[in-house]
Amino acid sequence: MSKPNLRSITVNQIGYSTEGAKIAIVNGEGQGFRVIREETGEVVYAGKSGAAVLDKPSGAKARAADFSEVRTAGRYYIEGDDGSISASFVIADKPYQELQQGLLKAFYYFRCGVELTGEYAGPWAHGACHTAEGIVHGQPEKRLDGCGGWHDAGDYGKYSGPGAKAIADLLLAYELYPAAFEAAVPLPESDGRTPDVLLECKVELDWLFKMQEAGTGGVYHKLTTLNFPGLDVMPENDTAELYISPVSAAATGDFAGVMAMAARVYEPYDQAYARQCLAAAQAAWTWLEQHPGVPGFTNPPGITTGEYGDGNDQDERFWAAAELYRTTGMEVYHEAVQALAKLPFPKYSLGWADMGGYGTLAYLLSGKSATQTALYASLKQGLLAEADRLVQQCREDGYRISLLEEDYIWGSNMLVMNNAMLLLAAEHFSGNTAYAGCALDHLHYLMGRNVLDISYVTGFGDRPVMHPHHRPSVGDGVADPVPGMVSGGPDRGLHDEYAARHLQGKPAAQCFADHDLSYSTNEVTIYWNSPAVFVTARFNV
C-alpha cells in the first residue's frame, strides 16, 4: 500500500460557521476520519467519508467527509484512518470577518499616486508613484492629470473598464449586505461616518473622473506606460512616460454604469459628490448615444500593456442604461434598457468583458413595480435558470464548485467568485438559501478546499500563496507577499513560459504554480478581489 499524502484531506483553511454545513474533501482511499480539537487532542467526532468520485478537472478521487454535527467553537483539524491530516481551521459564529477585511484592505495596497505609510501599510509601505501627467496617445502635446486610483493587477496599469467592474462588486456588496461593512478597515480616510468600503471606492471613482474626456463625455480606455516594467520594479521607481489610450465605447459604458450606481450609493453621505457622479454618468450616456457603432478597442501602436480589448459594447450600454434608470427613474433610460435587452449578448455574466449581468441585477433591483412586467420576469427567470445550472455543476464536481474542465482558464478564480456572486444574487431574488450554500462551497474552494490544498489568498489560511506575480511583492524585500490578494488560479492553457515548462500534462485544476513568473496562474487583480469581498460579505451579516 502506498504511503498517503499527509495533507490529502482538504478544508477551508479559515474555517466553518458553527451552525452551517462542514465538509472536508478527502483525496485518497481511506474512509474513516476523526475531527480533533487542536488545543486538547480530543476526538470530538468520528465518521466515514462518502463514496469516491473520480473528479476529472482535478484528477482526484474525491470523497466528501461531512462533520456538520461539530458545532462547538474552537480550532480543529481532521485525521484519516490512513494517517492523512488536514490543515487546522476554526469553527466560529462568523469565521470570515478578518478575511473580508483583508480582501478589502488589499485595495488600499493597490493605490496609485500616494505614499503608503507604515501606519497603514506596515512592512509593505512605499513611496508615491506615477504622479506625472499622462500623454494622450496621438496628441503628444496634450498631457492630462491621471494621478490616483488603483493599480489594476501585478503591473501598474490603470484601466477604466476593469476598475468599474471592481467598484461595482464592492458597491453591490455594500447595497445588499451593509451590516458586513460596519467595522473600520481602517483606512487613512476612516471617519466613523462613511463606511470604509465607500471611502476606498472613492479612490478609484476620483481617478475615473479624470479619465472622462472634457467636452465629449467619452472615457479613455486606460492609462499605462508603453511597456510593462521589470518584475522587481517598485511602483515609485516605475518612471517611464505614461500614456492615455483613446476613448472606447466599452470604457464609456462601464463608466456610465458605475457612476450612476455611485450617485445612488453616495447620496446619503455626500450629496454634492452624488450629483457629480450622476452628471458624469449622463454625459457618458450622451456620448454613447452619439456613437452607436464604434469599433472595439485595440492597443494603439507602440503600447504593449494589457489591452482589455472588447469588441461588443452592447452589454456595457445595457448596464449603463439600467443603472441610470434605477438611479433616476427616467423613462428615457427605461426605454433604452428595453431596447438593449432584445440584443443577443450574455445577460448573466459578471466579467470585465461581458458586463450584462450587472445590467440585469440593476434592473431587477429596481423592483417589480418600477419595471416592465415581461422583461422583469424574463430576466429573473434567466438568472435563476443560470444559478440552477451552476448548482447542478456543483453537484457533479468532486470539490463542489461550478467549474467544468474547460473553465480552468486564465483567471479561473474570478469565475469561481463571479459564479458565487451570481448564486447569491439568485438567493436574493428567490429567497432560496440553497443558492447561498452552493456559493459558500466556492469560498471553501478558494480558501483551501481544492486539490492543491492551497489558499489562493495571500496572507490567509494555513498554506497561502506566497509568490504572486505582483511587482511590489517581488520588489519590496519583504518575505511575505502583500496580504489579502486573490491569485488567478489554475489555467489549463499554460499561457506563460513558467507554466508551460512545469505544468505539462497536469489535470486542469492542478495547472497552477505558486511562482512569481507564472503570470497566467498566479497574478493578482482588483477584479478578482472584488467578487471575493462580495461573497465574504454575505456570510458576515
Catalytic sites, residue numbers: 514, 523
The C-alpha angle 271, 273, 277, rounded to 5 degrees, equals 115
- 8 three-class SS: coil
User: For 242, what's the count of Cα atoms within 13 Å in the CB-facing half-sphere?
Assistant: 23
How far does the chain reach from its first CA to its final CA, in angstroms?
A: 47
Cβ-proximal residues to 473 (8 Å cutoff; 6+ apart), any chain? 458, 467, 481, 482, 516
**Measured CA distances, 72 to 14, 44, 45, 90, 461 (Å):** 16, 9, 11, 10, 20
**Measured CA distances, 503 to 5, 455, 489, 511, 513 (Å):** 20, 19, 13, 6, 8
The region that residue 145 occupies, defined by phi over 0 for left and psi between -120 and 50 for alpha, beta otherwise, is beta
Cβ-proximal residues to 174 (8 Å cutoff; 6+ apart), any chain? 181, 195, 197, 198, 265, 537
Cell numbers placing 366: 429596481
Answer yes or no: are the C-beta atoms of 28 and 14 closer than 8 Å: no
25 membership: H or E segment, kind and range: strand 23-27
